[in-house]
Amino acid sequence: MPHLEPRTISVPAHLRDQVADALRAALIAGELRPGVVYSAPALAAELGVSATPVREAMLDLAREGLVEAVRNKGFRITEMTDRDLDEFTELRTLIEVPTVGRVTETAGGGQLEALRPLARRIVTAAREGDVLAYLEADHRFHLELLGLAGNTRLVEVVADLRKRSRLYGLGSLKETGRLVSSAEEHVELLDLMLAGEARAAEDCMRRHLAHLRTLWADGRPDPAPEDEQPSALSPALRPGGHR
């Protein structure tokens, strides 16, 4: 039997990814508050998993700048500044607006029409007030649309920017009815692209991102008081839970 060097056997990547997605959703929903320190065992109990995938997921979120490790305590949710929001919006605008114009001119009608079910799903989720379903469909729509440009690195960069920008504001949008208006912009964008209106499609994407910037600012939660204790997470956020 050969001698093997000691190695750390990590949890299955899919479970860690599911936990990370659940924690991102909790951030967006406002259930994880900026400034509050959360321990991996406590979050694991809330999510119905062991502490190991939670700890690894939190380390992933730390690399994205969403949390920071607090020695012997857990992880503190970081705060988003106005400058952070401005920079994320500027970067996404610089990348996504011209890409939409290029895809309008190069993609086939069938490729664009294949995105129609996702656009409809976004609107349906908005009308039903299902923020998590909205996020999932919105994520797929934008990245699959950008994927039609044929640049894998571009899609990876935007996916990372989306994670870091935390789409704050969707919860408050649901309460005010503005979520449906935001959702319908996806249908408008797709219709313009199918009509071959490249410049109009670029303008639509630019407006959509500008709206998101406003929503992030409006929906950004206030920092928690220093003595605030972690509260329970929604059961719907559990990996594999009902959404």
Contact 172, 219 (CB under 8 A): yes
The dotted CATH code for 82-219 is: 1.20.120.530
Contact 207, 192 (CB under 8 A): no
| CA 74 to centroid of chain Cα atoms | 23
Q: CATH classification of 13-79 is 1.10.10.10, yes or no?
A: yes
pLDDT at residue number 57: 93
pLDDT at residue number 82: 83
pLDDT at residue number 176: 61
**Identity of the residue numbered 18:** Q
User: Could you tell me where the beta strands, DSSP code E, fall in the chain?
Assistant: 37-38, 67-70, 74-77
Q: Which segment of 19-28, 50-59, 62-71 scores lowest on mean pLDDT?
A: 19-28
Q: What is the pLDDT of residues 173-231, one digit of tens each?
A: 666 667 788 899 999 999 999 999 999 999 999 999 988 777 766 655 555 555 555 55
Domains 13-79 and 82-219 share a fold: no
Distance (Å, whole) CA 183 – CA 190: 12
Look at the pTM and tell me if it is higher than 0.95: no
5 in helix, strand or coil?
A: coil
Question: Where exactly are the structural domains of the chain?
Answer: 13-79, 82-219
